[in-house]
Amino acid sequence: MKKIYPKIVKANKRIFNRLLVCIIGILIQLTYLIYLFWTFGTAYSYSAVIFNIASILITFALLNSDKHPTYKTSWMLLILIVPIVGIMLYLCFGSGNSGNKLREKMNLFNEEERLLLTQRTKITELFDKDCDDTEIKSVSKLANYLYKYGGYPIYANSEATYFPSGEAKFEALCRELENAERFIFLEYFIIEEGVMWNTVLDILVRKMKAGVDVRIVYDDIGCLKTLPYKYNEYLESLGLKCMIFNKFHPFWVARMNNRDHRKILVIDGHTAFNGGVNLADEYINEVEKFGHWKDTAVMIKGEAVWSFTMMFLTMWNYLDNNKPHDCDAYMPREEDIEQFRGAHGLVLPYTDSPLDKESVGENTYISIINNASDYVYITTPYLVITDEMSAALTIAAKSGVDVRIITPHIPDKWYVLAVTRSFYKQLTKCGVKIYEYTPGFIHAKNFVSDDKVGVVGTINLDYRSLYLHFECGTYMYKTDCLLDVKKDFLNTLELCREVTYEDCLKVNPLRRLGRSILRLFAPLM
């Protein structure tokens, strides 16, 4: 398929490499700040005392803050070991002061959103009569938690379809886009020109010309290496509506730590896609970056799509600085969801925000682990876990639950894989089974347990995803596709190499030391 954007855009991409410009700008900024701090801190004897006192005060402030203990420990170590550089880096990257400004602004839209997202039916009335009381209790507790802190209700009358690869999602996505009549909403962390995006863009332009309301949100840092400068203006010139989350510039500010890592596509209020698959060619293996790219997604149809619609509109109105006065216009039509009434199982789409100081993503995962009685199968590209997650996994394994985790064998970031492998020893010693996907990189973020509950979404098991990014997931209870999630996991195991406790004992001591040092600062990566 031909490229859609003009040659001038391609020339602009070659000549004005904004990634290089931004990197140079940030390096100059950091170098200058370090120089000022270092000069001031070493040129005068009293300034060294000032920095030492400041490092102690910041350490005490961190100690008494409500940040995660491991996150606090990493910053405190850095600040105490190298006070001058540590303080400067903390003020730039770790303080999170900008989060207060973002929080105030986002809350204005969240309050309006909550009025349109209500748990209309009592949760316990949504279960089938044959459901076990213990199941009802555990699922109801999690649903109540997600409604209170994630902001979204649980739905019946919704159907879920699981896609075991990016290729399968891409095929279904194009098919559903062709059927759009009213609106198409896309919110993605990464968009990159190529077979996948150009095919989608061609459909979007045709649909826009046919009167469909098409809106696109992408994360600027996520697309820093993949889209030309001011690509949003090009999309708008085609007639599409576009917003950029956190526009990146050469001068770093703390709010850049908060990124929109969500992958949401909503069509006409009755169909939505969620999962790990971005709109770039490696996700459908049109190009190879880290061996074979394994990813997954889920398609939701029915009442539960309303939550994804509201997730998108809340973000859109936040970026557009408008009150969400038009949300009612995007509610699903009765005739569009009638066929899904009586669908088996319950579906709960939810979001996780770095601004609410509530670890919704991690707590959901831990709840699934704690309530498992037979097995928990986990697929994640990164295994950089907190003490709470480690305790949940090991206690479950020690209690006889079959806990298995698939991670990549070929990494996209070598240092993250090193930290991931630093957790293998303690987990395998307690009975957790670890497998590495030998053909390449596995980007899927899946949980499935006991053939009854599962999550497919965007939330990785690492600090950045759990605490710093805007994320979303689809929690499912007894939907038909959960067996497909399990089947895909077991099929993927056949392509994996198990890492045993004995394997961990054979690791070179120097390599083990290097992993341990990296792990100390894992929350800062």
**H or E stretch at 271:** strand 271-275
Give CA–CA dist 113/115, Å, rounded: 5
Q: Which residue do the tokens 């109105």 mark?
A: 317
Give CA–CA dist 370/393, Å, rounded: 8
Q: What is the pLDDT of residue 123?
A: 81
Q: Which two tokens stand for residue 387?
A: 């003490």
Contact 445, 380 (CB under 8 A): yes
Q: Is 506 exposed, middle or buried (0-12, 13-18, 19+ CB in 10 A)?
A: exposed
Give CA–CA dist 303/158, Å, rounded: 6
User: What string of DSSP letters covers 428-450?
Assistant: HHTT-EEEEETTEEE---EEEET
Amino acid identity of residue 116, one-letter, is L
CA dihedral 390, 394, 397, 399 (to 10 degrees): -130
- Smallest CA-to-CA distance from 148 within 119, 177, 107 is with 119
User: What is the radius of gyration, based on Cα positions, of the chain?
Assistant: 23
Q: What is the pLDDT of residue 40?
A: 58
Instruction: Kindly give the pairing relationship between strand 297-302 and strand 271-275.
Output: antiparallel
At 323 the three-state DSSP class reads coil
At 335 the three-state DSSP class reads helix
The architecture (CATH level 2) of 99-347 comes to 2-Layer Sandwich (3.30)
Q: Which residue do the tokens 């120097």 mark?
A: 510
Give CA–CA dist 155/337, Å, rounded: 12
Report residue 302: phi and psi, to 5°: 115, -155
Q: Which two tokens stand for residue 82?
A: 């190298």
pTM: 0.88
Give CA–CA dist 290/225, Å, rounded: 17
Note whether 99-347 and 360-524 share their fold.
Answer: yes
Q: Where are the domains of the chain?
A: 7-97, 99-347, 360-524
Give CA–CA dist 372/402, Å, rounded: 9
CATH topology of domain 360-524: Endonuclease; Chain A (3.30.870)
Q: Which two tokens stand for residue 14?
A: 């070659």
Give CA–CA dist 318/470, Å, rounded: 13
Q: Which two tokens stand for residue 213?
A: 């309301």
Give CA–CA dist 131/141, Å, rounded: 15
Average pLDDT across each block of 10 residues of the chain; the chain has 525 residues. List them in order.
43 50 64 62 60 78 74 78 73 59 66 72 79 84 89 92 98 97 97 96 97 96 88 95 84 69 97 97 95 97 95 90 71 87 91 86 96 97 93 97 98 92 96 97 97 97 90 96 98 97 91 82 67
